[in-house]
Amino acid sequence: MAIFLLVLVEIAERLETFVVERNLEARKEGLLTLRPCVIQLLGQTALLEAKVPLTLAATNDVDVYADYDFAIEQEFRRLLATKGRELDSLGAEVWMPTETAYQPLFVGHCVSLLVADAESILVSKGLKAARKNRPLLTEYLARGPSARFLKLAHKYRLDLEQFL
Amino acid sequence: MSQKQLAELVQRARARYAKIERQRRDPRYRRVFGRFVAAGLLNSNDQTVPQRGAIRLADALWAGEVEPRILELLPALLIKKPSFFEERTTLPDDLAQVVRALRRGEVPAEFRGIPGADLARWLPRLGRSGAAPSRLRCFRFSAEESRLLSRLSGELKTTEVAVLRRALRELGAAVLDGRA
């Protein structure tokens, strides 16, 4: 899985090259250029990047929030597919706390790849898919939850009893 | 939350987690999870030995209680990759209902805590890419409509059902686009 995270940075770099080349061509031909975009990683993939010491099982889905143009999304999807991953088309519907902090994984001129903080992801998972993430939340609580997680759990009324 | 409450919460979680850890060491879990990893369906940051060969459905259901993502993939796998399992003729009632609904192209009811929509989304994504079960629908056409369908089929060098599907998609795009 650690290898996959290096792959994600590599994908972001290739996406950056794609956008730069497309924009150079577009400028030459007087066409509209692709807008710079920010891709925010969510879900299990982001948890792995955050290096949370938890046992993680993940499907091949990659959940993101992103403000990219359609052409960039298609290229991102294609690049992920070459690595056996699939961009979840419902990623934009994932609920995340407003307090979610995003750390940069790759920052280019046209493409930035950020990763959501672990506590926010765990609160999101606990609230929106408690049953599916029960082992994960139980393990997290057993290892001692952070004060920030407890604060978020309290604010969003996450019932921790269901994981005990 | 006070320090005392937090300590109690952690203690209870540790007791619960100890059970999960025991279950993860169980050969049934390791075999099933390893099979899912070998098939590229699941990934883990844990040391997992990929496993080959068919698995027992009962073991998969048991392992799914430890890792619910196994349950999420299970019904679609039964339809798209039945050889994944040693025996698949006798399904538990709740699983049989989910499989039946998926075969009909319906969103099934919740299955052991996994929402029906989560179960349904795997069907087109496993096995042959994009392929989902089709459903038999019967309609009556007048002779004139039937002739038109045959002519279009000949003209477009495709099957009659492909003509109907295309017409339906185009009509859907024209009438429904922007109303989602």
- Contact between A15 and A79 under an 8 Å Cβ cutoff? The reply is yes
| Cα nearest neighbour of B48 on chain A | A57
Chain A residues inside the 8 Å CB shell of B20: 135, 138-139
B10 → closest Cβ in A84, A141, A154: A141
Chain A touched by B24 (CB under 8 Å) = yes
**Yes or no, beta carbons of A4 and B44 under 8 Å apart:** no
Interface predicted TM-score (ipTM): 0.79
pLDDT for position B131: 59
pLDDT for position B133: 62
**Yes or no, beta carbons of A57 and B44 under 8 Å apart:** yes
pLDDT for position A23: 94
pLDDT for position B173: 81
**Yes or no, beta carbons of A55 and B14 under 8 Å apart:** no
User: How close A21 comes to chain B (CA, Å)?
Assistant: 30
pLDDT for position A1: 44
- pLDDT tens per residue across all 164 residues of chain A: 444 556 888 999 999 999 999 999 999 999 899 999 999 999 988 887 777 789 888 888 899 999 999 899 999 999 999 988 889 878 888 899 999 999 999 999 999 999 999 999 999 999 998 888 999 999 999 999 999 999 999 999 999 999 98
Chain A touched by B43 (CB under 8 Å) = yes
The pTM assigned to this predicted structure is 0.78
pLDDT for position B90: 84
**Could you tell me the pLDDT band of residue B44, with boundaries at 50, 70 and 90?**
confident
**Yes or no, beta carbons of A56 and B46 under 8 Å apart:** yes
Chain A touched by B72 (CB under 8 Å) = yes
User: How close A70 comes to chain B (CA, Å)?
Assistant: 17
Other CB atoms within a 10 A radius of the CB of residue B28 amount to: 17
Q: How far apart are CA B71 and CA B87, in angstroms?
A: 17
**Yes or no, beta carbons of B42 and A57 under 8 Å apart:** yes
Chain B residues inside the 8 Å CB shell of A138: 13, 16-17, 20
pLDDT for position B180: 47
Chain A touched by B99 (CB under 8 Å) = no
Average pLDDT of the residues in B114-118: 90
Model confidence at B177: pLDDT above 70? no
Of the residues A6, A141, A146, the best mutation for testing chain B's interface (the one with the most B CB atoms within 10 Å of its CB) is A141
Domain boundary assignment for chain B: 3-125, 143-176
Q: Which residues of B123-141 are buried (b: 16+ CB within 10 A; e: fewer)?
A: bebbeeeeebeeeeeeeee
Helix axes B3-25, B57-66, angle to 10 degrees: 160
pLDDT for position B51: 85
| Cα nearest neighbour of A88 on chain B | B121
Chain A residues inside the 8 Å CB shell of B32: none
Chain A residues inside the 8 Å CB shell of B118: 129, 132
pLDDT for position A57: 87
Chain A residues inside the 8 Å CB shell of B43: 1, 4, 57-60
Domain boundary assignment for chain A: 2-117
Q: Would you give the distance in Å from CA B28 to the centre of its chain?
A: 21
pLDDT for position A2: 47
Average pLDDT of the residues in B107-114: 91
**Could you tell me the pLDDT band of residue B130, with boundaries at 50, 70 and 90?**
low
Quickly tell me which residue has 């925010």 as its tokens: A40
| Cα nearest neighbour of A5 on chain B | B45
Average pLDDT of the residues in B72-88: 90
- Contact between A58 and B46 under an 8 Å Cβ cutoff? The reply is no
A164 → closest Cβ in B12, B121, B125: B12
